[in-house]
Every structure is written in structure tokens, then in C-alpha cells.
Amino acid sequence: MDTALDEAQKREFSRVVILGMPGKLSKLAAGLFNTHSRLGGDARMETIAALAAAAGLHAEGGVRSILACRNTEEAFRIVSGGAGLEREVAGMLCRRIRERVKERYPGIGGLWTSTSTPPRDH
């Protein structure tokens, strides 16, 4: 993602749209712009857990369970489960991404973010 945003700033794009699955977006919200699975770093569960806690998810059975997840789909199943906080957490994730991008790329004008809804078991 960092290469694409570098290029957008260099070319003075007036708008940038960022779409993605929760895993990549969680990394951006944490300030990790190299979202490749083997590079950059990983703060996906910590980011989702912190946002879920800020949205009101309880530590027992909620936040602690997210921290034990292997992937973001599992984490968002917990967030959207009994607490029904998926939209609030997704909105917080998008706002956090906008803040991080504007800090690192002040030349980029408008920025829109969106999360893709994670798959659900039926």
C-alpha cells in the first residue's frame, strides 16, 4: 500500500479510495503501510481488539478472545457476534486509517475508506 500511496501523493491525486479486507485495513489502521503478509509487521488482532474495547466489547470472552484469534475473520465474528459491534468497529477502523494516511501523506486530498464485510459461517 505504501508504494501506491507514495505514487498518489507524487502525482497529486485529488482523491484516493482505499478498499480492502479487514486484515489489510487493520494493518493500515496500526500505521503499517507495507501490508504484505511476510513484510512490515503485524498488529491486526491488537488493533481490532483495541477498537472493539473502545466500542464497548468486554474483556472476558470478547477482547481476550480476539487476541487469541488466528485471523481477522475469526476476530470479526467475535465483534459481530453477541455484541453486534461490527459496524461501529469498522467505522472506527476507517477513521483510524484516514488519520494514519493523512499523517504520512499530507499531500493527498480526499480519502475514502471502506471495509469489505468479512465472511460469516452459515
Has residue 110 been placed in a domain?
yes
How many domains, in total, are found in the chain?
1
- Residues spanned by the domain of 55: 2-31+41-115
The confidence band for 116, taking pLDDT boundaries of 50, 70 and 90, is: low
Has residue 122 been placed in a domain?
no
Q: Tell me, what DSSP letter sits at residue 39?
A: S
Has residue 101 been placed in a domain?
yes
| Per-residue pLDDT tens digits for 44-102 | 999 999 999 999 999 888 999 999 999 999 999 999 886 678 889 988 998 999 899 98
Has residue 21 been placed in a domain?
yes
Burial of 108 (0-12, 13-18, 19+ CB in 10 A): middle
Has residue 120 been placed in a domain?
no
Has residue 121 been placed in a domain?
no
